[in-house]
Every structure is written in structure tokens, then in C-alpha cells.
Structure 1
Amino acid sequence: MITPQIHDRAVGAVLGSAAGDALGAGYEFRPAVPEPTPITMTGGGSFGWAPGEWTDDTSMAVPILRTAARGGDPASEPALDGLVAAWAAWSANAPDVGIQTRNVLTGLEARIASAARAAARQEHEVKGRSAGNGSLMRTAPLVLAYLRGDVGEEERLASAARAISDLTHFESDAGDACVLWCVAIRHAVLTGELDVLRGIDLLDLDRRRLWVDRIVTAEHSEPVDFTESNGWVVSALQAAYAAVKQSSSLEDALVRAVRTGNDTDTVAAIAGGLAGALYGASSLPAQWRELLHGWPNLRADDLVALSEQALAV
């Protein structure tokens, strides 16, 4: 049953991620911002974002949210085909697309999932790595399709999170991170509790100890400790988790994430998905919600409406 509290936290996961993205946009690729310098949603940055405008993180999340709003199985091949087609169309004119994601989406012989997976594998084989943070940054809306409490729902969410990650990111670290984060967001939405290790048993056995160590490290670190490498999905997750773990509110979590510097919009978008699931949409500062907007000509209220559709199907 979707109670008012669960509804608020589910919508919060979507709005929190988008707000983190927009808040961090003006600070991307810059050094860490220490206290007491304020963090403000004023836009700017490398791509001249308008105040409150989200970047590629949320632009790639929107098709996932729309998939959830349509109902059905988000991990089905037709649904995955739809994501690839939407991302490819968006990336053709987007000002800011991650290098790895752009390399996968550019030049696809067909805008379908099988072609994207093949391109992602090729990108990994050429570069020798493909664990950027570009699949984790967009993953939060997927959780809204898995909140009914059915038997095996966590397992199906984990499978879908990995399948969607695999469309652009071949390396196991990326898929593992999406599994852990989605399961943690779902748990927070349903219970109001923070548990990033909730999904550890859904990873391959030989990967579990590695991820436990990474999460424990994050629990005893500051978000800024991961600044230099936060384009890597592992460091991005660790920085985001550290920000949420130490936070007292949604705003506090997002500000802590942005203070890290470097890939600020993505770290804050990742943090915002989990923090929004903990604190709820109602905790988002009204000024931020009013400013929030981005591709494809949507605003915060549109994200709320899509989220509510996803919760209703």
C-alpha cells in the first residue's frame, strides 16, 4: 500500500536527484567549496546553465521515469529499446553528455538495446575500463516501478537496475553500484531507513566483500575525500553516501555533496536520490523546487506528475 509517507518519499527520490543535479551544475569541475561559503542554485558552470536547470544526469533519468510511468516491465527488451532510442535522440543535441555515454550512443547502427550493449562492451574493450558514474546518476526513478511489496520485488529491481546500467556501462562496478543504490532507495522509501548494504546479497558472491569494504570506508570518510576520483562510479557512490550519512536534511545532504567539487552535479544527483527517499519531497526547499527545470522542457511539477503516474500503475 502506498501510504502518504511512502508517496512523499518516492516522489522525493526523483525530485531530490534532480535538485542535486541542478544545485551542482554551477560548481562542476571546480575545486571543493569549504564552509562557510554558501552553496546556491544559481546555475552557470562550464555549460552556462540557467538557475535551477538540470544537466545530463536528470535528462537521462527522465526516460526511465517515463518508462516507470507507463507501467509494464522496465527490464523488458522493448522497454530497454525505448530507453536507448530516447537517449540517442537526446544526446544528438545535448550540450553535456558524458564521454563514455556519448561514445556508446553515437553511431549506433540501430537505436536498440542489443546494439547499445554491444557498443558498451566495445567501448570497454577499447578503453580497458567503463566504470564511469553515468549509469548510477540516472538510476533513482527506476525504484518507483518496484514499490508494491510483491515477493521477489527487490530481486527484480536489482535485475532491472543492472540491465539499464549495462546499456551504456559494461563494467561490473557500474552495475553493482546501481543495484546497491536502487535497493537502498527502495528500502528508504518504504521504511524511512538508511541501509546501503541492504542489497549486498544481490551481488555476485565474489563481489560482496569488496563492496562491504567500500561502503564501510565511506561511512568513516568525508565526501571530499573522494573528490579526485569521483568520476569513477565507486568514488561517486562513496561521496554521495558519505554526504547522506552525515546529513540532517535533504538540503544538507545536497549541499554536502556539492561541496566535494569536481563532478558535483553527478555526486549530488546520486546523493539526492537516496536523501530524497529518506526525507521526502516535502522537505525540498520551496525556492529550489520553483527553479527546477530542464530537458525536455519540464519542471518540478512535471516530474511529480510522472512520479505519481508511476506509483499508480
Structure 2
Amino acid sequence: PTSHTVLPDSLGGIIHISVRGSFLDADHPATGSILHACSQHWRNRALLRDVAARQSRTTHGAAEAVDACVAFAEALSDAIEGAKRSEVLRDRIEPLAGAIGPIMAGSWRGMHRRDVRSSGYVAHSLEASLWSVGRAGDFKEAVLLAANLGDDADTTAAITGQLAGALYGASGIPDTWQTKVAWSSRIRTMVDGLMT
């Protein structure tokens, strides 16, 4: 199905957007918005929440995807601010869409590996990432736990890497992994620009 949205552009004109597929698919909201989550506004929580929601809606407009992006951006921000892992992974009780509320409230705690899913559904990816970081003692272990869940492993490992990277910093990423990153000096420059 195709939906049509009309938005004002920055010059006062009108932009017509045609969206095909699962953009607003409430039955299967995908992980893309948390995969691309950015906590650039970590010092201003109201702005962070607003930007995270708007950023999600550009590609993933389902309520679960939007709320997952906002909740994940807040956890990332706590980690960037230097909060301890227990504080970053604390139970967050707030009204969030669908499965996102219970996940952020800690339903992932105590799950057995066989029960953790990595399917590409936003709730599964969020849950798997929190579970991986919660079970691991460092960046490498968290990312490997996520990657070894299978299914949509690359996405889940990337989401996990964001949170684990924010918790453990660049020094927590194995040197052997860092040396294999293409354009690493360019990426470091961009990150430094985002953090100032």
C-alpha cells in the first residue's frame, strides 16, 4: 500500500511524499530508526526526545519504532554522560507503545539466551541489545553476544555496539577491531564534532 503525506518545506512550499510498504506498519515495525539513533542532543533531554522521535518518523513511523528510538536515545545519552551500566540499564517505567514499555521496564532481565530474538522487529532488536549489554562485561562480549543471536544479527550487533560503545568508550573497543574500520580517522573527527 502507498500512503501520501503533505508537508511544508523550509521555504514555505509543499512537499508531497509517497510512502510504500511498512513505514507505518504497526504489525511489524522495523529496527531502522534505533539502528540510526543519534544522541547528539544528550545535554538537552526534551530536545533529544523530540529529535529522536522526528528522526524515527522519517523512515519508521510506527508508534513502537518511534518510542523505541526515543527510549534508546535516552539510554545512549545516559551512557554518553558517564552513567554506570546499572544506571543506563535501569528499569524505565513510562507509557511506551506496544512491547517497548515492558522492555524498557526490564522484561529482558533474566531471559535465557534461547528466548532472546533478533528478528528485525524493533522490539526484538531493542530487547536483544539491552540483554546483550546487560549480560556482558565489556564491549567485545556485548557485541559478540548480539551477533551470535543470529537472524538479523548485523543490525542487533550494530545497535548493541552503539550502547556498549557509549558505555565503554573507544578505549573499550578492541584495537584489532578498530584498525579494521574503514575511514576511522574521518569517523573520529565526526564523532568529536558531535560531542562538542
Q: TM-score, normalised by structure 1?
A: 0.53
User: Using the alignment, how far apart are the partners of 2:80 and 2:64 within structure 1?
Assistant: 24
CA RMSD of aligned residues (A): 3.1
- Decide which of 146, 149, 157 is 2:41's aligned counterpart: 146
The structural deviation recorded for 1:223 is 4.9
* Larger RCO (alpha carbons 8 Å, 6+ apart): 1
The aligned runs of 1:126-137 (5 Å cut-off) are 129-137=27-35
The structural deviation recorded for 1:303 is 1.1
Name the counterpart of 2:147. Answer: 258
Q: Which amino acid aligns with 2:189?
A: A
User: Using the alignment, how far apart are the partners of 2:26 and 2:135 within structure 1?
Assistant: 35
Instruction: Looking at secondary structure, tell me which structure has more strand per residue.
Output: 2
**Aligned residues with identical type, % of pairs:** 23
Name the counterpart of 2:6. Answer: none
8 A Cα contact 1:244 1:271, kept in partner: yes
* Stretches of structure 1 lacking an aligned partner (at least 5 in a row): 1-102, 105-111, 294-298
User: Using the alignment, how far apart are the partners of 2:161 and 2:67 within structure 1?
Assistant: 19
2:180 is the alignment partner of 1:280: no
Q: What number of residue pairs does the alignment pair up?
A: 186
Name the counterpart of 2:185. Answer: 301
2:8 is the alignment partner of 1:119: no
Name the counterpart of 1:13. Answer: none
The 3 A distance-change label for structure 1 pair 283 and 291 is same
- Decide which of 218, 226, 231 is 2:120's aligned counterpart: 231
Instruction: Looking at secondary structure, tell me which structure has more helix per residue.
Output: 1
The 3 A distance-change label for structure 1 pair 176 and 283 is same
8 A Cα contact 1:222 1:239, kept in partner: no
Deviations 1:93-141, CA, capped at 9 Å, x for gaps? xxxxxxxxxx99xxxxxxx89655x526x7456x6645111111111xx
8 A Cα contact 1:130 1:170, kept in partner: no
Deviations 1:166-210, CA, capped at 9 Å, x for gaps? 011121000111111110010011133233457654xxx4x3795
8 A Cα contact 1:224 1:239, kept in partner: no
* Stretches of structure 2 lacking an aligned partner (at least 5 in a row): 4-8
